[in-house]
């Protein structure tokens, strides 16, 4: 495994509640990413980080925020969860240097009722 | 918008058969990757391709980076039950932070 831990692995919550997902890495990689995976859409990038306190939006960032206060942790927050955010969320990491591949965690299954 | 078209969307094959799947784009990309996702797990990198025309093998897997830089294919020889899963192609979309863009996947089922 690439030293990536996602928590929680499963969560069920109600519409309108805040939700925070955590990604923790032990590889000291510079780049971290949050994706969502939905049937028919593959993996879509939500936000990514290119260093501590440096983050940027991906293709489906609306309704999500992120924070990276330490190299090893990247948090994804849904401020007010909606049913459309029910999905499987994956964290990935990549080392510095051109063309370094991304390595993925095992995902968090989030259901919003 | 940008799209990576993977085909076929799903495949059912007998154990021992060879498998071929491909991925095409309307844009040129200089790095192509193939990932496999087992049920309940995250995608795992199989093969990375960095040079147009490059043919790379990883055990029973062979992948090629198309000469036009708009496509790639993945072959699996002598399939086995553990080959079951979803295969994704991906391209390096932005060199900044090594950002990738993924195809929608090919779901492979191997019948013993």
B59-85: pLDDT as tens digits:
999 999 999 999 999 999 999 999 999
Assess whether pLDDT exceeds 80 at residue B96.
no
Instruction: For residue B76, say if its preceding peptide bond is cis, omega within 30 degrees of 0.
Output: no
B residues 45..84 contacting A (CB < 8 A): 45, 48, 50
Q: How far apart are CA B99 and CA A14, in angstroms?
A: 32
B94–chain A Cβ distance below 8 A for any pair: no
SS3 B44: strand
Chain B positions touching A50 (Cβ under 8 A) are 96-97
Give just the sign of the alpha carbon dihedral A59, A85, A111, A22: positive
- A3-26 average pLDDT score: 96
Assess whether pLDDT exceeds 70 at residue A1.
no
Q: What is the mean pLDDT of chain B?
A: 93
Q: Which residue has the tokens 């060199």?
A: B95
Q: How many helices (H) and strands (E) does chain A have?
A: 0, 11
SS3 B90: strand
Q: Which residue has the tokens 């309307």?
A: B26
- Radius of gyration over every alpha carbon of chain B, rounded to an integer in angstroms: 13
How would you class A24 by CB atoms within 10 Å of its CB: exposed for 0-12, middle for 13-18, buried for 19 or more? middle
- Residue A2 confidence class, pLDDT cut points 50, 70, 90: low
- Residue A96 confidence class, pLDDT cut points 50, 70, 90: confident
Those residues of chain A whose CB sits closer than 8 Å to some CB in chain B are 4, 31, 33, 40-45, 48-50, 56, 58, 90, 92, 94, 98-107
pLDDT of amino acid B1 = 60
Q: Is A104 close to B31, i.e. CB distance below 8 A?
A: no
How would you class B85 by CB atoms within 10 Å of its CB: exposed for 0-12, middle for 13-18, buried for 19 or more? buried
Pairing of strands B106-111, B10-14: parallel
């Amino acid at each position: 495994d690439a030293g990536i831990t996602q928590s929680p692995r499963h969560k069920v919550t109600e519409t309108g509640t805040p939700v925070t997902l955590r990604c923790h890495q032990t590889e000291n990689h510079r780049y971290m990413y949050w994706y969502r995976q939905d049937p028919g859409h593959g993996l879509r990038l939500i936000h990514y980080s290119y260093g501590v306190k440096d983050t940027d939006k991906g293709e489906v960032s609306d309704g999500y925020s992120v924070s990276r206060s330490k190299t090893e942790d990247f948090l994804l927050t849904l401020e007010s969860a909606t049913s459309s955010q029910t999905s499987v969320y994956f964290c990935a990491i990549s080392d510095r240097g051109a063309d370094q591949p991304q390595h993925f965690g095992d995902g968090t299954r989030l259901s919003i009722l | 918008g940008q799209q990576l078209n993977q085909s076929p969307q799903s495949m059912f094959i007998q154990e021992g058969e060879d498998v071929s799947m491909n991925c095409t784009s309307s844009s040129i990309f200089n790095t192509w990757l193939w990932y496999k996702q087992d049920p309940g797990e995250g995608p795992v990198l199989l093969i990375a391709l960095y040079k147009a025309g490059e043919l790379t093998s990883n055990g029973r897997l062979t992948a090629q980076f198309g000469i036009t830089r708009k496509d790639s294919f993945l072959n699996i020889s002598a399939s086995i039950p553990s080959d079951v899963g979803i295969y994704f192609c991906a391209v390096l979309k932005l060199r900044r932070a090594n950002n990738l863009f993924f195809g929608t996947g090919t779901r492979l089922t191997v019948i013993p």
